[in-house]
């Protein structure tokens, strides 16, 4: 499973890092990013972190966390 945060819609509520501190960090504006791959959605989430990821996903009020079975395509 892969994950990426849409920082255009993140409202810096902090739920994701509270649920999955190993996966989500915050930039200087308080916007979330995925720590394991620099928010590129290209590194597989370890199996033991998947429950945390799903809790974070469900707890995000702006639905800014996107998960996929395949790596995300980024133009970075």
Sites of contact with ligand F3S (CB under 6 A): 5, 10-16, 32, 59-62, 64-65
Where b means 16+ CB within 10 Å and e means fewer, 16-52 reads: bbebbeebbbeeeeebbbbbbbebbbbeebeeebeeb
Report helix, strand or coil for 45: coil
Least separation in angstroms between CB 32 and ligand F3S:
4
Nearer Cβ to ligand F3S (53/65): 65
Least separation in angstroms between CB 12 and ligand F3S:
5
Least separation in angstroms between CB 2 and ligand F3S:
15
């Amino acid at each position: 499973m892969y994950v990426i945060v849409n920082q255009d819609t993140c409202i810096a509520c902090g739920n994701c890092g509270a649920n999955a501190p190993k996966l989500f960090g915050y930039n200087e504006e308080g916007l979330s990013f995925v720590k394991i791959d620099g928010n590129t959605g290209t590194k597989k989430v370890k199996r033991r972190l998947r429950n945390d990821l799903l809790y974070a996903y469900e707890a995000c009020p702006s639905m800014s966390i996107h998960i996929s079975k395949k790596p995300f395509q980024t133009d970075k």
